[in-house]
Amino acid sequence: MSWDREQPFVIDIEVTAEHIDGLGHANNAVYVTWLERCAWEHSQSLGLGLDDYRRLDRAMAVLRHEIDYLASAYAGDRLRMGTWIVESDQRLKMNRAFQLVREADGATLVRAMTTFVCIELSSGRPKRMPPEFIDGYGKALVQPYPLEL
């Protein structure tokens, strides 16, 4: 695999019939669910799962998705999605980059950037990241550099 950055957290995805739309390829909305799945699995690997979010009364909520769809995925394709935490102000915001690659030919199908904001679950309002978020997500922070989307 030719990743945009070193040492991605990677999940495997198999495109199934349920992902395919009327045009015969994976629907663009499905990619967003794959971004979410990858982000959650990475968070859990860092020791920050849903139970931790509830206990801390904090969550990282999506503020913005930027997605470039570069090529289509089709039923039966085996894909690998990598993610990196590329920026964190260690107060409210964090940016996560994604790259989706088709195993068969190594083609990058999607590049995306998601901005998250820390919220208090009980109020839904922005709140500072707790130390557990700063430490957990901080250990996965990679050196950011410009990336064409």
Q: Are 15 and 33 in contact (CB under 8 A)?
A: no
The answer to the question of residue 143 being in a domain is no
Neighbours of 18 (CB within 10 A): 9
The answer to the question of residue 145 being in a domain is no
Q: What is the pLDDT of residue 12?
A: 98
Show the tokens assigned to 11.
Answer: 């999940």
The answer to the question of residue 60 being in a domain is yes
The Cα–Cα gap between 85 and 145 comes to 12
Enclosing domain of residue 75 = 9-138
Q: Are 149 and 68 in contact (CB under 8 A)?
A: yes
Q: Counting Cβ atoms within 10 Å, is residue 64 exposed (0-12), middle (13-18) or buried (19+)?
A: exposed
The per-residue pLDDT for range 79-110, each reduced to its tens digit, is 999 999 999 999 999 999 999 999 999 999 99
Tally the domains of the chain: 1
The answer to the question of residue 49 being in a domain is yes
Q: What is the CATH number of the domain that holds 43?
A: 3.10.129.10
The per-residue pLDDT for range 12-43, each reduced to its tens digit, is 999 999 999 999 999 999 999 999 999 999 99
Q: What is the pLDDT of residue 145?
A: 53
pLDDT at 147 over 70: no
The Cα–Cα gap between 96 and 49 comes to 17
pLDDT at 146 over 70: no
The answer to the question of residue 13 being in a domain is yes
The answer to the question of residue 72 being in a domain is yes
